[in-house]
Amino acid sequence: MTDRREEILERLVALVAAIPNIRWAQRNNPDIPDDQLPAASVFDGDEESNGDIDIGSSRPPNRPYVVRMTPEIIIAEQSNEVGSDLATLRVELIKRVLNDAALLATVGTNGNIRYLGCQTDLGWGRSLQGALQAQFTFKYPLKIEEL
């Protein structure tokens, strides 16, 4: 049994946890304590399939699908140099996701990984805090016989 979606999400958590200086990495946790920064949280992404392209055809419902999942990764940090710190963490995040052999193997030769972009936000807590929200799209086959 193989659930590529779950494999990708689990691998993303492992990747962000290994980014240098990240002290706290979790999945789908929206509450980040400020004494654990820099921290990262991976949020399960929306998924779309190509299921509607042949809805009027006689192809069986268990045909192979191609799906695209777009998880979000949030990295938060606090320091007087929070902009530079986030820039460094962003570089590490992008490099690790796009070059990861395990992720590339999971999406397969017909799949792909794309970095879509990021948004940032700032605020004051006990010091200057910043957060970066990055999106990646993973295109991979959904084979019913694998599930």
Q: Using DSSP, state whether 41 is helix, strand or coil.
A: strand
- Applying CB under 8 A, the span of 6-14, 73-81, 93-101, 103-111 interacting with other proteins comes to 73-81
Contact 91, 118 (CB under 8 A): no
Per the listing, tokens 């700032």 go with 122
CA nearest neighbour of 118 among 94, 138, 101: 94
Q: Which is nearer to other proteins, 85 or 111 (CB)?
A: 85
* Site for other proteins contains 122 (CB under 8 A): yes
- Applying CB under 8 A, the span of 6-14, 57-65, 119-127, 139-147 interacting with other proteins comes to 119-127
* Site for other proteins contains 88 (CB under 8 A): no
Distance (Å, whole) CA 20 – CA 31: 21
- Applying CB under 8 A, the span of 2-10, 35-43, 48-56, 138-146 interacting with other proteins comes to 35-43
Give the β-pairing of 112-124 and 128-142.
antiparallel
Least spacing, CB of residue 128 vs other proteins, in Å: 7
In order, the DSSP letters of 5-26 are: HHHHHHHHHHHHHTSTT--EEE
* Site for other proteins contains 133 (CB under 8 A): yes
**Which amino acid is located at 119 in the chain?**
Q
Least spacing, CB of residue 144 vs other proteins, in Å: 30
Residues engaged in binding other proteins (CB under 8 A): 29-34, 37, 39, 41, 43, 72, 74, 76, 78-80, 119, 121-131, 133
